[in-house]
């Protein structure tokens, strides 16, 4: 089954304790992206990756890092989490076919930073 998986699905942590949220896709997509979703703000792009070893900042990259060492994985790293990073996070992957680009989203990771 074609899918995007994220782990963990729920996480409670404390300020300053480094954490990583993993994302993996099995569709051989070139493009992957991380979003955060906050009430009233919709989804905002944090980082994206066009292919292996190619990443770029989205609209809200501060406080986050990413890496793309393999095509299927795109982990999101919070080196020193702060309470304002409490949010719902989504990973997505996509490929372009005939000028169309369909993003497949993971199930989400709900993060609470105390």
- Give whichever of 78 and 91 is closer to another protein, judged by the CB atom: 91
Which of the stretches 18-26, 66-74, 79-87, 102-110 binds another protein when contact is defined by CB under 8 A? 102-110
C-alpha–C-alpha distance, residues 61 and 95, integer Å:
22
The dihedral through the CA atoms of 90, 76, 86, 34 has a sign that is negative
C-alpha–C-alpha distance, residues 16 and 90, integer Å:
22
Q: Does 43 bind another protein (CB under 8 A)?
A: yes
25: which strand partners?
4
| Proportion of the chain in helix, strand, coil states, percent, rounded to 5 | 5, 55, 40
Task: Provide, rounded to whole angstroms, the least separation between the CB of residue 75 and another protein.
Answer: 17
Return the residue matching tokens 């005939």: 98
C-alpha–C-alpha distance, residues 21 and 89, integer Å:
9
Contact set for another protein, span 17-36 (CB under 8 A): 31, 33, 35
- Lay out the site mask for another protein across 54-93 (x = CB under 8 A, - = otherwise): --x-xx------------------------------x-x-
Q: Does 114 bind another protein (CB under 8 A)?
A: no
Q: Which residues bind another protein (CB under 8 A)?
A: 4, 31, 33, 35, 40-45, 48, 50, 56, 58-59, 90, 92, 99-108
């Amino acid at each position: 089954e074609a899918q995007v998986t994220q782990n963990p699905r729920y996480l409670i942590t404390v300020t300053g304790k480094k954490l990583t949220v993993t994302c993996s896709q099995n569709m051989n997509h070139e493009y992957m992206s991380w979003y955060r979703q906050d009430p009233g703000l919709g989804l905002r792009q944090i980082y994206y990756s066009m292919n292996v070893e190619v990443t770029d900042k989205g609209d809200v990259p501060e406080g986050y890092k990413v890496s793309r060492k393999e095509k299927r994985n795109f982990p999101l790293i919070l080196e020193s989490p702060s309470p304002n990073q409490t949010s719902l996070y989504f990973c997505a992957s996509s490929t372009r076919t005939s000028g169309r680009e369909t993003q497949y989203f993971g199930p989400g990771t709900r993060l609470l930073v105390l």
